[in-house]
Amino acid sequence: MTRLRSTLTAALLAIMLLPVFAATAHAQTRQETLRAVSGGGINSLDPTLLNATRESIAFGLNVYDRLVSFATKREGDRLVFDMDHFRGELAESFSVSPDGLTLTFKLRQGATFHDGTPVTVEDVKWSLDRAVLAKSGAAPQLASGSLTKPEQFVIVDDRTLQVKLEKADRLAMGNLATPFARIINSKLARAHATADDPWANEWLKSNDAGGGAYEVERFAPGQQVTLRRYEAWKNGPDGKLPWFKRVIVQVVPEAATRATLLERGDADIAIDLQASDVIAIEQRGKLKVVSNPQTNAFTFLAFNGKRAPWDQVKLRQAVAAALPYDPMFQAALFGRGRKLYGATWTDTPPTASFPQPMPVHTDPARAKALLAEAGIPTGFKTTLIYSVSNAATLEPVATLIKEALAGIGIEVEVRKLADAQVASMATDKSFDMLLDGSAAYLPSTDYFFRIFYQGPTRWNFGGWDQPEIATLTAQARFETDPATYDRLAKRMIALAAEEEPIVLLWQPNLEAVMDPSIDGFTYWYHRQTDYRDLYRR
């Protein structure tokens, strides 16, 4: 019955989409139009706003340029981002001083914004000033690379800008490659600023002030976005324009309906289907599946260390030992991902990279013994929360956790809550256990630990307050000697394994399902589709 409803919904959506595609026929053929379907809504054209959805990031990337972008590399038959190398976007060239304190960018000549206005070094300066000063998600992100104040962005001449650092920071250049460092048409934005909104946040939420590869043709928040290729774009690799002349992204909430639209040929690509649908699609063999481990992401179970009894290490260790890891992995992802459990090391991790498989195993007898050592031999009652948007993968996991913990005397009430409520409870630490997932934009070990394992932030999901971690991350952040950095990073990982503020579970695959004619899909750290990469064979 569910599949029948999904098929009917898909048919109705296909009929609804026909006028949109027909309206573009005079401009270019169907061959030159990319049709994407997305489960998440695009609520803002400004990906830096605090309430912007992750799906909004893709539009920030395609509509705006940055000074630089990460390069790409090939891993087997897959294309992925390369965190260690960069290429210019608006910057024709860039360099780092020998002491690492000055980053110099020379702007490309002839680059323009979508309204034809030339891109100036003043636009770059204003945009970066806005990134560190405006109330948005940009400031905390850029601060992770020591980019915190306007005085750091210095105009040298009409084509040159320098970024000044007090200490050499390995993540400074990487932060300038994120969507948070986008370059805005400052004259256009400032014309829509107000005394209450000096950085034009409200206007930029629904208007295009970029100069990227695509410009916004139509934006219906939460429903559809249509982009058209900016024919004067000069900032791509080798100066080439994207292959597709138009990109239409339709929001289709039901995963099964998105799968049906793809199989009917009424859509070209989706990156958020359910694992069960992906497996069935692979078996039928009509569509292409590009599967990428989300190497900078992780699914986890967090314990709220800010409240009793979860402030006890022994209790957290007990629950970690009770979890049925393999059954959870299969129930959530049908095994399509990378396990972050089951490692054999004890005191020292084998590498300094993170996330990596941790030394946790299913051991009910050990779990019961640890529970007794925690002074709770007969167990207690507690709650577990997860969000509605993650229900497809996390609901069966929550059920398995409830059953496993009942076996050691812990009675769990499972609560499936709205995304906003989960976010609020994660921020103010008003939960007991949280089942969720997250990702790091810049996947270096010290960054992971600064963001997810310390401080009074939402992202320190376990509320972990470990003084040694604060010392280690402060040292590693600016460490230039690789051997010393690895030693510090391994100690961080060992502490996390010992005290279990959160239990790492797995890294899900990002499954890009597409028409067989589509090629060039690249896995990016933001886990969204870069339409500039794609082409039709």
Average pLDDT over residues 95-104: 96
3 state SS of 69: strand
Q: What is the pLDDT of residues 108-157, one digit of tens each?
A: 999 999 999 999 999 999 999 999 999 888 888 899 999 999 999 999 99
Averaged pLDDT score across all residues of the chain: 91
pLDDT (0 to 100) of residue 16: 52
pLDDT > 90? residue 337: yes
pLDDT (0 to 100) of residue 437: 92
pLDDT (0 to 100) of residue 400: 98
239: left (phi over 0), alpha (psi -120 to 50) or beta: left
Q: What is the pLDDT of residues 302-313, one digit of tens each?
A: 999 999 999 999
User: Residue for token digits 């006028």?
Assistant: 19
Residue 75 falls inside a structural domain: yes
| Measured distance CA(281)–CA(188) in Å, rounded | 46
State the DSSP H helix or E strand holding residue 54, giving kind and residue range, or none if neither: helix 54-63
The verdict on 139 and 266 lying in the same domain is no
pLDDT > 70? residue 21: no
- Structure token digits, residue 515: 């028409």
Residue 60 falls inside a structural domain: no
Q: What is the pLDDT of residues 183-199, one digit of tens each?
A: 999 999 999 999 999 99
SS3 of 304-357: the string is: CCCCCCCCCHHHHHHHHHHCCHHHHHHHHHCCCEEECCCCCCCCCCCCCCCCCC
pLDDT (0 to 100) of residue 130: 97
pLDDT (0 to 100) of residue 520: 95
Q: Are 102 and 140 in contact (CB under 8 A)?
A: no
Tell me what percent of the residues of the chain surpass a pLDDT of 90: 76
pLDDT (0 to 100) of residue 14: 52
Residue 63 falls inside a structural domain: no
Q: Give Cβ neighbours of residue 193 (< 8 Å, ≥ 6 apart).
A: 199, 200, 203
Q: What is the pTM of this model?
A: 0.84
Q: Per residue in 146-183, is it b (16+ CB within 10 Å) or e — as a string?
A: bbeeeebbeeeeeebbbbebeebbbbbbbbbbbbbbbb
**What CA dihedral angle connects 208, 214, 218 and 224, to 10 degrees?**
-110
The verdict on 371 and 478 lying in the same domain is yes
204-208 LR contacts (CB < 8 Å, sep 24+): 204/45, 204/46, 205/44, 205/45, 205/46, 205/49, 206/44, 206/45, 207/45, 208/45, 208/63, 208/114
33 φ, ψ (degrees, to nearest 5): -110, 130
Q: Are 30 and 16 in contact (CB under 8 A)?
A: no
What band does 405 get if pLDDT is binned at 50, 70 and 90? very high
- Structure token digits, residue 176: 């300038």
Residue 387 falls inside a structural domain: yes
The verdict on 82 and 8 lying in the same domain is no
The verdict on 461 and 320 lying in the same domain is yes
What band does 12 get if pLDDT is binned at 50, 70 and 90? low
Residue 195 falls inside a structural domain: no
pLDDT (0 to 100) of residue 274: 87
The verdict on 336 and 398 lying in the same domain is yes
| Measured distance CA(225)–CA(219) in Å, rounded | 5
Of residues 374 and 12, the one with the higher pLDDT is: 374
pLDDT (0 to 100) of residue 457: 83
The verdict on 364 and 464 lying in the same domain is yes
Q: What is the pLDDT of residues 477-536, one digit of tens each?
A: 999 899 999 999 999 999 999 999 999 999 999 999 999 999 999 999 988 999 999 999
Q: Are 42 and 60 in contact (CB under 8 A)?
A: no
Q: What is the pLDDT of residues 203-227, one digit of tens each?
A: 999 999 999 999 999 999 888 999 9
What band does 26 get if pLDDT is binned at 50, 70 and 90? very low
Q: Give Cβ neighbours of residue 70 (< 8 Å, ≥ 6 apart).
A: 81, 82, 83, 85, 86, 87, 174, 177, 524, 525
Residue 284 falls inside a structural domain: no
The verdict on 364 and 456 lying in the same domain is yes
- Amino acid residing at 237: P
pLDDT > 80? residue 27: no
List beta partners, residue 337: 508
Residue 58 falls inside a structural domain: no
Average pLDDT over residues 367-376: 97
State the DSSP H helix or E strand holding residue 132, giving kind and residue range, or none if neither: helix 121-133
pLDDT (0 to 100) of residue 503: 98
Q: Are 529 and 521 in contact (CB under 8 A)?
A: yes
Q: How many domains does the chain have?
A: 3
Of residues 39 and 212, the one with the higher pLDDT is: 212
pLDDT (0 to 100) of residue 39: 85
Q: Would you call 398 exposed, middle or buried from its count of C-beta atoms within 10 A (0-12, 13-18, 19+)?
A: buried
pLDDT (0 to 100) of residue 137: 82
pLDDT (0 to 100) of residue 443: 79
pLDDT > 90? residue 238: no
CA 226 to chain centroid, in Å, comes to 22
The verdict on 311 and 453 lying in the same domain is yes
| Measured distance CA(158)–CA(535) in Å, rounded | 36
Residue 172 falls inside a structural domain: yes
pLDDT > 70? residue 394: yes
Per the structure, the complete domain to which residue 9 belongs is given by: 2-47+212-278+515-536
Average pLDDT over residues 454-461: 89
List beta partners, residue 87: 69
Average pLDDT over residues 147-173: 96
Q: Per residue in 235-245, is it b (16+ CB within 10 Å) or e — as a string?
A: bbeeeeebbbb
Compute the chain's Rg from CA coordinates. Answer: 24
pLDDT (0 to 100) of residue 19: 46
The verdict on 339 and 483 lying in the same domain is yes
Q: Are 54 and 38 in contact (CB under 8 A)?
A: no
Of residues 174 and 56, the one with the higher pLDDT is: 174
pLDDT > 60? residue 20: no
Q: Identify the CATH number of the domain in which residue 82 sits.
A: 3.90.76.10
pLDDT (0 to 100) of residue 136: 83
Q: Identify the CATH number of the domain in which residue 400 sits.
A: 3.10.105.10
The verdict on 446 and 489 lying in the same domain is yes
What band does 86 get if pLDDT is binned at 50, 70 and 90? very high
The verdict on 269 and 313 lying in the same domain is no
Q: Per residue in 107-138, is it b (16+ CB within 10 Å) or e — as a string?
A: bbeebebbeeeebbbebbbbbbbbbbebebbb
Q: What is the DSSP letter of 286?
A: S
Distances (CA, A) of 72 to 79, 146, 193, 294, 297: 7, 25, 37, 15, 18
534: left (phi over 0), alpha (psi -120 to 50) or beta: beta
| Measured distance CA(496)–CA(469) in Å, rounded | 9
pLDDT (0 to 100) of residue 17: 52
The verdict on 13 and 150 lying in the same domain is no
Q: Identify the CATH number of the domain in which residue 37 sits.
A: 3.40.190.10
| Measured distance CA(79)–CA(47) in Å, rounded | 24
- Amino acid residing at 116: G
What band does 100 get if pLDDT is binned at 50, 70 and 90? very high
CB-hemisphere CA count at 13 Å for 412?
A: 25
